[in-house]
Amino acid sequence: MDPKQSTVHVAPDRQLLPPETEPPQKRKYWIWAGVLLVVGLILYFAFRHKGGAESPAAGSPGGGRHAFSGPVTITTATATQGDIGIYLDAIGTVTALYTDSITAQVTGVITAVHYKEGEFVKKGDPLIDIDSRPYEAQVIQAEGALERDQNLLAQAQMDLQRYKDAWARNAIPRQTYEDQQKIVLQDQGTVKNDQGTLQYDQVQVAYCHILAPISGRVGLRLVDPGNLVTANATTTLLVITETQPITVVATISEDSLAEVLQQSHHGIGLPLEAWDRSNQHKLGTGQVISFDNQIDTTTGTVKVRAEYENKKAELYPNQFVNTRLLVKTLHGQILLPGSAVQHNGSVAFVYVIENGQANMRNVKTGASEGGQTAVQGVNPGEVVADSSFEKLQDGSKVMVTSKPLPTSSPEGNAP
């Protein structure tokens, strides 16, 4: 036996083990999968617990809402029976009934301005004086010519009477008598001409003293004393606008015209409310006095004019306003606040409160006006929920409070 060779003996308990059945990478995968599963279960139960206080997603009314542990605090509204109006909304412009732009009708120098800017004047109040002395002198001349010709006429009439007596005695020829008749007629014509000249000159004098032709508000002063004005010139001396009463011109759609004309008196006398730009302040209520005689084909609208007393002077000429035309009034309607009516698509419903419980009931809505809505399906005197709809469902227990509730709650805002 070669001494360099040796035999290796392996003990029975030291035998080689078979290789591992799974690699280390696969074992790590199962470990991570188990960890993720545990985390997912924790999150699932956490959200499920939190979701018990959430409002449901959009769906059938109250169908997917989670029940609350206690009664829902709500405010309520009571169904009433009353009247509600059908209105047409439109834009309008305040328009004065009369607007006078006054110009000079005689030539002369302005001697006085009697009005103050922006003041109200009454019909007949003095406004502007123009130097009237040249025209007063013409009046004196016309009066003198009239007196002279009147005396000439009187003399001719006396001669005519003498000629008539003489002709009756055959003392003068008939021709002389007839000639005198024509002289009297000529003098009568002269006197009439003189009377016309005198009246014309008197009118010219009156033109020198400009009076208010209407009652209204005077605009800004356009001329001053000492200015020379010319007769029939285009220069405006002042503008007067009548503001009491005043009118509003509004436009309504041609589609609504038939409904308006079906009312009594073909719509004349219907109330037309005027509101400011923000629709927050009502400026007045007038009565329709006329409709335009044709439809504007470019806009498909027709103009309507209403008159207002405007005692508080809140309507100003050329002011933009929002208008509401009361077409008709529905009587004996069941009314609820619009906030109490909920909608799910085309379905409207309310929560009727009975014996401390909210019962969902479908309703049919009609006209709405001033925060009130006409409904069918609710009886007068029934109480409905008017808040906390994000927590309510059919059959929920409720607790009524008279205090206003916040519009949202932490539960309702939870994701």
Residue range 160-194, pLDDT digits in tens: 999 999 999 999 999 999 999 999 999 999 999 99
| Average pLDDT of the segment spanning 140-163 | 96
Taking 60 as the threshold, does the pLDDT of residue 155 lie above it? yes
Say whether pLDDT at 210 is over 80: yes
Closest by CA to 88, choosing from 204, 210, 242, 257, is 257
What does the alpha-carbon distance between residue 389 and residue 342 come to, in Å, rounded to a whole number? 8
**CATH match for 72-85+331-404 among 3.40.47.10, 2.40.420.20, 1.10.4080.10, 3.40.50.300:** 2.40.420.20
Cβ neighbours for 352, distance < 8 A, ≥ 6 positions apart = 358, 359, 360, 361, 378, 382, 383, 384
Which carries the bigger pLDDT value, residue 49 or residue 321? 321
**DSSP letter for each residue of 379-399:** -TT-EEE-S-TTT--TTEEEE
Query: Taking 70 as the threshold, does the pLDDT of residue 302 lie above it?
Result: yes
Q: What is the pLDDT of residue 47?
A: 67
Q: How confident is the model at residue 401 (pLDDT cuts 50, 70, 90)?
A: confident
Residue 15 in this model has a pLDDT that exceeds 50:
no
Question: In this predicted structure, what is the pLDDT of residue 106?
Answer: 96
Whole-number mean pLDDT of the chain? 86
pLDDT for 11 beyond 60? no
Structure tokens at 23: 């690699």
CA distance 410 to 229: 77
Q: Is the peptide bond before 245 cis (omega within 30 degrees of 0)?
A: yes
Please compute the mean of the pLDDT values over residues 319-324 and round it to a whole number. Answer: 95
User: Does position 105 have pLDDT exceeding 70, yes or no?
Assistant: yes
Q: Please report the pLDDT score of residue 7 as a whole number.
A: 44
Residue count of the chain, please give it. Answer: 415
Write down the domain spans for the chain.
Answer: 72-85+331-404
pTM over 0.75: no
